[in-house]
Chains A and B, each alone.
Chain A
Amino acid sequence: MIGKSVFRALNGKQEVVKRCSKIVIRASSTVPQMSLPSSSENSNPLPFFRSIQNSPSLHASNNSGQFYTIDPSIKKQLFLYGGIPKTFDELCNTFKETCMMIREPALEIMDYMKSTNFNNAATRYCLYGKIGTGKSMTMAHVLHYGFENSFVIVHVPWAPYWYKFPKEYSDCPTKEGMVDLPLDAVAWLIHFKNQNSHLLADPNLSVCQDWEWSKREITKKGAPLAEIVEMGINRVKYSTNCIEALLQELKQLSDLKRCKTIVVIDGFNIFFSDKTKIKTAAFEKIPPKRVTITSPFVDITKQDWSNGAVIVSVDDLAFFRKDQRNTHYPRGLLGPEGFEHLDPFIPIETKNYSEKEFHYCIEYFLERRWIINPHAASEEGRKELAFISNRNPFNLLKVTAPL
């Protein structure tokens, strides 16, 4: 543009934001090979934007806006098979640490969970908000909290994957008109096993009733819960049935106070959509409710059990592009059926960064050398970044990527 070049010439200073490529994440090879200061190695006192508390249970409102570090071993256990957005995961690789901002919605949910009477029916939280405001990140934070407090974790990293990119599907042998996703079910069971590996050895977690898979394969009452999981992983044919049994068992066990369960499902609204990519033998596309893996997860979000918490998120991106509804509110995204199913729930909105959070984030980016351009750190630069990104976390990442 003529205007811009003239402006540069006149002003004698550079504009902060240049055209940003669609590739958000800088390849690690382009990052100057310098040692990033590691928070643990650093003997100096922590900078103000870092939290001293790395345990979500101890996070309070005074930590809001600060970053806390997740231990790599915990990250490996919790998020090995998904759970944190891919863009963020790649960013963590670049930064050589997994640092998450402590934000209001997560603090709110954890606050509620701390004061919940777990004798009552499971409380349901519904996260909603515009794209890129941190629904999945909030879930990851709460998941960490659940992990720390010995909740059994039932976590679906992104439900729409099953319906948009199914690995393999076949007609269900037991239920007519239904379709199985055996490989996806196995993958989920492995994810479950990985996340709860520290709990599955607990003798309290034993099966409450007999489960007959076939004439010869039976899981007896009193067997450890891990047996069902192993069964599903080893016998692909019964994997979906195993999920169904596992979730039913978990509901019962929670009711009996033998464990606490936290259910976290991202992109929950896809369960009430009317479209998937899955086709039957007759080449007709079927709705999610005709996929066998749907019903156990819809069932566990019911209020007929106690000693647990259910956190779901609704997202416009969960739908197929054509069906997207241009709204981010639960009422519009869940539809009448889904809303009726989930009601009553506690709605929790994720919002763009506040002024404070924005500045903390910029400071963090500067420390990690994600932002190198000195103009970006100036007051005018920050103003411009805030205006262009609208302080939206994901947009900010995109805008600052070339800086």
Chain B
Amino acid sequence: MATTMLHKHRVSVLFSFGRSLYRRINVSQGEFGLQQKCSAYSRPINTLSASEAVAEIKNMPDESRPMPAKKPISKAMKAYLLQAKNYDEFMKKQNTEFQIGRRHLANIMSMDADTMTQEDIDQAIEFLFPSGLYEPRARPMMKSPELIFPPKKAAEFDESGRPYHSLFYTMNPNFYGLLQEAVTEYVNLNKEEDNMIRKRISFNSDMKIILSGSDWLSQEKLSNLLIEQIDDAQYEQFKNVMLRLAEHPLSNKVKDFIMKYRYSLVNEAALAEIPKPSYEKDGRAYVTFKGARRKNAYADVTVHMPGTGKFLINDCDIEYFQDIQSREQITFPLIFTALLGKVDVTATAIQGGTTGQSGAVRFGLAMALRSFVDDKMVERMRLAGLLQVDWRTRERKKPGQPGARRKPTWKAR
């Protein structure tokens, strides 16, 4: 009975807190919490996994029946094992329900339950329960329980209740572990520096790491990486320590370690894939960039090389845009790459207004022109902001006020 109560309690907690659930484990000698996010449970830690723990729980001594004396299990471990068992049962039940629901849905929609994908389910739910709610997560959904209930973290301590990690009682073992690692590296570098001075080896700038083009991970990203809540002071501490390491004259030797906690400012993957031009029957090279966007407009742009400077948008010349600004937008990539009059451009733009369409064509044109210029120019185009999608869109109007941000005029009475 107690088990089911606990079970119910757990479920209700799960529903009420969702992802940001904090789990607490009671230990006989007072109470301490593992202040961790559930989503972080998947991190591989050198401990028992949940399934192993469940296997173990089957061999657990039944308290009602006396058994031969065995290695004592700490209360913390017992509580953990019990909860692991409950969790597994709960997930099993949820999974069965999901499978039944899935078959029902397949019947309703006259689809094949075996080949039904999650995408089909989403579409069916949207069709059967149309919702006008603004927040997508608030709308009705039907997903595999693994996607809704976060996986559970394995135990961080052994049967006797002794933690595996030496920094367990700092409550942020991974974070302080990282700091300790950084300091260790720093000390090692210092030793090497001493050696070099002793051997009279000169230093050069190549030995120091170059930090331009990348930045430290944000507080949130670092939190996710370490699976620990990191507060502002700790983040500040992290940056100071890492910066000190990076400023060491030999810091290039620990480049891999430092770069693990930095991210590149350039989307290298996107830039690296410059398409090779295709060829028409008459031997002209051409490149098409599809789906360029700005505001609500979309554009497909094809560039032909060599050309005579023809420009066609939606089967109309540049006078398609009546205002000069839009025309300038389109001209900019061509002038920048000095290809004005040397390529032919054909574009189709849909939706949106003048600014949106011209912006979309500009971006598509710049992306397509990459294939006809050298790497140096591509880098210059990137720096000029030509290869950057402008994601800004119109902000929605809010109810109860006249605009997105504007409030009604204040009147005394």
Chain A interface (Cβ within 8 Å of chain B)?
A: 1-4, 6-7, 10-11, 15, 17, 19-20, 130, 380, 383-384, 387-388, 390, 392, 395, 398-399
Residues in B neighbouring A399, C-beta threshold 8 A: 324
Considering the complex, give the chain B residue whose CB is closest to the CB of A18: B328
The answer to whether B332 has its CB under 8 Å from any CB of chain A is: yes
Q: Quick check: B324 and A4 within 8 Å, CB to CB?
A: no
Considering the complex, give the chain A residue whose CB is closest to the CB of B342: A383
| 3 residue pairs, one from A and one from B, having the closest CB atoms | A3-B385, A6-B384, A388-B327
Q: Quick check: A6 and B383 within 8 Å, CB to CB?
A: yes
Q: Kindly state the separation between the CA atoms of A390 and B309 in the bound complex, as whole angstroms.
A: 11
Summed over the interface, the residue pairs from A and B with CB atoms below 8 Å come to a total of 55
Given contacts A3-B384, A384-B340, A387-B311, 5 further A-B pairs with CB under 8 A are A15-B335, A383-B340, A387-B334, A388-B331, A390-B317
Residues in B neighbouring A3, C-beta threshold 8 A: 332, 384-386
Q: Quick check: A387 and B318 within 8 Å, CB to CB?
A: yes
Q: Kindly state the separation between the CA atoms of A6 and B381 in the bound complex, as whole angstroms.
A: 10
Residues in B neighbouring A6, C-beta threshold 8 A: 383-385
Q: Quick check: B319 and A4 within 8 Å, CB to CB?
A: no
Considering the complex, give the chain A residue whose CB is closest to the CB of B319: A390
Considering the complex, give the chain A residue whose CB is closest to the CB of B317: A390
Contacting B318 at CB < 8 Å: which of A11, A130, A383, A390? A390
17 example contacts (A-B, Cβ-Cβ < 8 A) are as follows A1-B385, A3-B332, A6-B383, A7-B332, A10-B383, A17-B324, A17-B328, A17-B331, A19-B325, A20-B324, A380-B340, A387-B327, A387-B334, A387-B340, A388-B331, A390-B318, A390-B319
Q: Kindly state the separation between the CA atoms of A19 and B385 in the bound complex, as whole angstroms.
A: 19
Q: Kindly state the separation between the CA atoms of A130 and B322 in the bound complex, as whole angstroms.
A: 13
Residues in A neighbouring B244, C-beta threshold 8 A: none
Residues in B neighbouring A10, C-beta threshold 8 A: 380, 383-384
Return B338 CB to nearest CB of chain A, in Å: 8
Chain B interface, number of residues (Cβ within 8 angstroms): 21
Q: Kindly state the separation between the CA atoms of A6 and B332 in the bound complex, as whole angstroms.
A: 12
Q: Kindly state the separation between the CA atoms of A17 and B336 in the bound complex, as whole angstroms.
A: 13
Return B329 CB to nearest CB of chain A, in Å: 9
Q: Kindly state the separation between the CA atoms of A203 and B410 in the bound complex, as whole angstroms.
A: 79
Q: Kindly state the separation between the CA atoms of A168 and B317 in the bound complex, as whole angstroms.
A: 42
Q: Quick check: B385 and A2 within 8 Å, CB to CB?
A: yes
Q: Quick check: B317 and A4 within 8 Å, CB to CB?
A: no
Residues in A neighbouring B327, C-beta threshold 8 A: 387-388
B323-349 CB contact bits vs A (8 Å, 1 = yes)?
Answer: 011011001101110001100000000
Residues in B neighbouring A17, C-beta threshold 8 A: 324, 328, 331
Return A191 CB to nearest CB of chain B, in Å: 33
Q: Quick check: A388 and B383 within 8 Å, CB to CB?
A: no
**A7-B336 contact given A17-B328, A19-B325, A387-B311, CB 8 Å threshold:** yes
Contacting B335 at CB < 8 Å: which of A1, A19, A384? A384
Residues in B neighbouring A15, C-beta threshold 8 A: 335
**A130-B328 contact given A2-B385, A383-B340, A384-B335, CB 8 Å threshold:** no
Residues in B neighbouring A384, C-beta threshold 8 A: 331, 335, 340
Considering the complex, give the chain A residue whose CB is closest to the CB of B325: A19
Considering the complex, give the chain A residue whose CB is closest to the CB of B385: A3
Residues in A neighbouring B311, C-beta threshold 8 A: 387
Q: Kindly state the separation between the CA atoms of A380 and B337 in the bound complex, as whole angstroms.
A: 12
B377-389 CB contact bits vs A (8 Å, 1 = yes)?
Answer: 0001001111000
Q: Kindly state the separation between the CA atoms of A172 and B385 in the bound complex, as whole angstroms.
A: 66
Q: Kindly state the separation between the CA atoms of A397 and B385 in the bound complex, as whole angstroms.
A: 31
Return B314 CB to nearest CB of chain A, in Å: 13
Residues in A neighbouring B332, C-beta threshold 8 A: 3-4, 7
Q: Quick check: B335 and A388 within 8 Å, CB to CB?
A: no
Q: Quick check: A387 and B309 within 8 Å, CB to CB?
A: yes
Return B298 CB to nearest CB of chain A, in Å: 20
Contacting A388 at CB < 8 Å: which of B328, B336, B341, B385? B328
Q: Kindly state the separation between the CA atoms of A130 and B331 in the bound complex, as whole angstroms.
A: 22
**A19-B384 contact given A7-B336, A387-B331, A388-B331, CB 8 Å threshold:** no
Q: Kindly state the separation between the CA atoms of A60 and B328 in the bound complex, as whole angstroms.
A: 37
**A19-B331 contact given A384-B340, A390-B317, A392-B319, CB 8 Å threshold:** no
Q: Kindly state the separation between the CA atoms of A4 and B317 in the bound complex, as whole angstroms.
A: 24
Which of A130, A387, A388, A398: most chain B Cβ within 10 A? A387
